[in-house]
Amino acid sequence: MNYPVPAASDLVTFSYRDYLLSCDAARIAPGQFQAHVVIARRADLCIVASRFFSSTQPFETDAAAVEYARTWAVDWIDQLSN
């Protein structure tokens, strides 16, 4: 059974340093979600990274998937800045 990718209204946007992090969760099965994040520079909204995380390790809730995507993006930005 196919499950729809979330609509744009399901995006959660965070601000971190000079970046905007757009995180969402796609339902891949009942009670299973895949995390996704798009990272853009705040100054010009240029996308600098986009990442879907493996569906082989799904999250039990959409909130957990979004939080994982946000945490990954913050770590990625911190590593980029060092």
What residues contact residue 25 under an 8 Å CB cut-off, 6+ apart?
Answer: 6, 10, 33, 34, 35, 36, 59, 62, 63, 65, 66, 69
Is it the case that residue 50 has pLDDT exceeding 80?
yes
- Residue-level pLDDT at 82: 79
What residues contact residue 38 under an 8 Å CB cut-off, 6+ apart?
Answer: 21, 22, 47, 49, 50
Is it the case that residue 80 has pLDDT exceeding 70?
yes
- Residue-level pLDDT at 70: 95
